[in-house]
Amino acid sequence: MLKLVDKIILGIETSCDETSASVVKNGREVLSNVISSQVDLHQKYGGVVPEIASRKHVELIIPVVNQAIEEAGITPDAIDAVGVTYGPGLVGALLVGLSAAKAIAFAWGKPLVGVHHIEGHIAANYIQHKELQPPFVCLVASGGHSHIVHVEDYDRFKILGKTRDDAAGEAFDKVARAVGLGYPGGPLIDKMAKNGNPKAVDFPRVYFEKGCFDFSFSGIKTAVLNYLNSAEQKGEKYSVEDVCASFQAAVVDVLVTNLISAAKHTNSKKVALAGGVAANSMLRKELEEQAGRAGLEIYYPSPILCTDNAAMIACAAYYEFVRGNVSDLNLNAIPGLKLGERG
């Protein structure tokens, strides 16, 4: 078993539209987790505008880091390493956090630890569930990714399935826009769906051959758009609540079915959720029911740890750091970084 040591990590995350810094002790004890969301800025464009995100990160990164250190009640000399997301994500956004992390590491003489963003999302579960240890199977579903990952060890990951087109969160955001809800769409669809009938419309569920745990969400999204267009052309009224509930049911069905099949395939006893979509109430409920029936233990982070935050990055950095996986100051941002690869 991995020997845990007394270490304090400063984590930095700027891969998309959240500027975040956090101080985490021994991998799982969050001393501070400052998240400055830019959602309000991007809302009027219906999605994240990369150039605006980068500029805002530049403005916020130093104040956010300072606040994280202050709220943690520590001084910089107490920090053992600086962990930072270096991919995947928006290149301009990643570069701001990475440059700040490198400058801090250099100026304060601390080791730098580059973290894969998805590894961070998975690590959020360690913060929430102090007893959780690998191996387990984790569904990582966010605005940019939908992966089923076999977490074999803290730093060993095997991708069992991934989306072949849209990410789950992306599908939520696009459908939300089509039915006239705002951005980000996931939480709004989740809320509307509570008053809708999930069986009202039979949207398609896409499954691949046996033993393949990939996803495809563009078909569900197109089916929703066709349903709305056809209703409009016929002058028929439709219930937004029913459309939201039925769309959500289709996505959740596929996510839960593939996650449970992947757990069985790998003889895993534990399944976890991670990423923004992991906050979805129907996904959690369905997984609890179905995984419970399959005799699996279920783990998911609280909503604040599901969305992008630096505590999860500091936690992942801790497990890399105690294994001696440190980066040098030439580390570059890699927008398409693959899980399990090191830059």
Spatial strand order of the sheet with 18-25 comes to 29-37, 18-25, 8-13, 81-87, 112-116
**How many residues contact Zn ion, by CB under 5 A?**
2
Residue type, 121: H
Q: Residue 134: name its binding partner from ligand KG4, Zn ion, none (Cβ under 5 to 8 Å by kind).
A: none
Stretch in the footprint of ligand KG4 (CB under 6 A) among 68-76, 127-135, 142-150, 289-297: 142-150
- Phi then psi dihedrals of residue 239, to 5 deg: -95, 120
**For Zn ion, which residue of 19, 20, 142, 248 counts as binding (CB under 5 A)?**
142
Report the DSSP pairing between strands 81-87 and 112-116. Answer: parallel
Assess contact for 57 and 96: CB atoms under 8 A: yes
Interface with ligand KG4, residue 307, by CB under 6 A: yes
Binding mask 83-122 for ligand KG4 (x = CB under 6 A): ----------------------------------------
Least Cβ distance, residue 166 to Zn ion (angstroms): 15
Determine the Cα–Cα distance for residues 272 and 274; give it in Å rounded to an integer.
7
Determine the Cα–Cα distance for residues 68 and 330; give it in Å rounded to an integer.
25
Q: Residue 184: name its binding partner from Zn ion, ligand KG4, none (Cβ under 5 to 8 Å by kind).
A: ligand KG4
Stretch in the footprint of ligand KG4 (CB under 6 A) among 186-194, 203-211, 314-322, 323-331: 186-194
Interface with ligand KG4, residue 308, by CB under 6 A: yes
Assess contact for 180 and 169: CB atoms under 8 A: no
Stretch in the footprint of ligand KG4 (CB under 6 A) among 34-42, 138-146, 153-161, 318-326: 138-146
Residue 88 structure tokens: 């995947």
Report the DSSP pairing between strands 136-141 and 18-25. Answer: unpaired
Least Cβ distance, residue 265 to Zn ion (angstroms): 25
**For ligand KG4, which residue of 19, 20, 85, 280 counts as binding (CB under 6 A)?**
280
Provide DSSP, 3-47: PP---EEEEEE-SSSEEEEEEEETTTEEEEEEEEE-HHHHHTTTS
Q: In 224-277, which ranges are E strands?
A: 270-274
| SS3 of 111-167 | CEEEEEHHHHHHHHHHHHCCCCCCCEEEEEECCCCEEEEEEEECCEEEEEEEECCCC
Site for Zn ion in 293-332 (CB under 5 A): 308
Q: Residue 87: name its binding partner from ligand KG4, Zn ion, none (Cβ under 5 to 8 Å by kind).
A: none
Cβ distance to ligand KG4 smaller for residue 104 or 176: 176
Stretch in the footprint of ligand KG4 (CB under 6 A) among 25-33, 216-224, 264-272, 276-284: 276-284
Interface with ligand KG4, residue 279, by CB under 6 A: yes
Interface with ligand KG4, residue 184, by CB under 6 A: yes
Report the half-sphere exposure of 266 (CA within 13 A, side-chain side).
27
Residues forming contacts to ligand KG4 in the complex (CB under 6 A) are 16, 142-144, 169, 172-173, 184-187, 190, 275-277, 279-280, 307-308
Residues forming contacts to Zn ion in the complex (CB under 5 A) are 142, 308
